[in-house]
């Protein structure tokens, strides 16, 4: 089991985030009440209300976002790439990001004309709209078009040079998201980007996953020849090591 709920001798419910991705340590958070818990076609989906962080979304035992601190990650992964372009982005693609947070931040850019999101699991947006309405507000923007399918397959079908920016808001590189950290995926991203386009991808914690970051950096230097590849991070208390 990757993550777990348990009751202590004080009758308190606690969630513990356990994973081979951060061996020897675990983040625990006290649960006020469980709001939702089902298995989708692809993963275990849990939402609970906490005492300190509001509602918490957990996929396959790993915390994805909380009401209190989600903005830190969403703002960084969105505004950093969009504000780095010489010319304002007109067409933007999000891979993953089913909670809607990245969409919400993209919609703040008035010059963006088309926003597409490719999310594998339809349950995630549905749950986000019910339990994280402020984060899922981006789905209501008329510029947004949703595709519920595998991101790898979606990119293989788009025309070359379609997007000015691609944001890959993926979970950790295990299970369905593993392919989003490999060269064939980034080859497709490169193909789908315009000549002066930008991609920003979730790249894990420098304290826990330096090997993954080094591999991603080398891979992107190989794929995006002539471009610039950099690692950026934000601090966020409910992610492993408090940094991503």
Residues counted in the chain: 244
Contact between 50 and 32 under an 8 Å Cβ cutoff? The reply is: yes
Contact between 138 and 101 under an 8 Å Cβ cutoff? The reply is: yes
For helices 210-223 and 183-192, give the axis angle rounded to 10 degrees. 40
Residue with tokens 């190989």: 222
Active-site pick, 60, 69, 121, 169: 169
The C-alpha atoms of residue 78 and residue 138 are separated, in whole angstroms, by: 13
- According to DSSP, residue 235 is labeled B
Annotated active-site residue 67? The verdict is no
* Residue positions annotated with a catalytic role: 169
């Amino acid at each position: 089991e990757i993550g777990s709920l348990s009751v202590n001798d004080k009758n308190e419910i606690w969630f513990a985030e356990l994973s081979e991705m951060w061996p020897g340590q675990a983040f625990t958070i006290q649960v006020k009440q469980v709001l939702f818990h089902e298995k989708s076609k692809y993963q275990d989906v849990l939402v609970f209300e906490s005492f300190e962080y509001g509602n918490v979304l957990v996929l396959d035992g790993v915390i994805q976002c909380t009401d209190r601190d989600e903005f830190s990650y969403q703002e960084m992964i969105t505004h950093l790439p969009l504000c780095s372009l010489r010319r304002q982005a007109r067409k933007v693609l999000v891979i993953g990001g089913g909670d809607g947070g990245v969409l919400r931040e993209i919609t703040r850019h008035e010059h963006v004309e088309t926003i597409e999101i490719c999310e594998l699991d339809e349950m995630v947006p549905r749950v986000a709209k019910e339990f994280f309405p402020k984060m899922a507000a981006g789905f209501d923007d008329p510029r947004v078009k949703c595709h519920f399918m595998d991101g790898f397959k979606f990119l293989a079908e788009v025309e070359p040079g379609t997007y000015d920016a691609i944001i890959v808001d993926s979970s950790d590189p295990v299970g369905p998201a593993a392919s989003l950290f490999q060269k064939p995926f980034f080859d497709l991203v490169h193909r789908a980007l315009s000549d002066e386009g930008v991609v920003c991808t979730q790249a894990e914690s420098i304290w826990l996953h330096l090997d993954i970051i080094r591999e991603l950096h080398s891979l992107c230097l190989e794929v995006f020849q002539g471009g610039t590849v950099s690692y950026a991070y934000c601090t966020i208390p409910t992610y492993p090591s408090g940094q991503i």
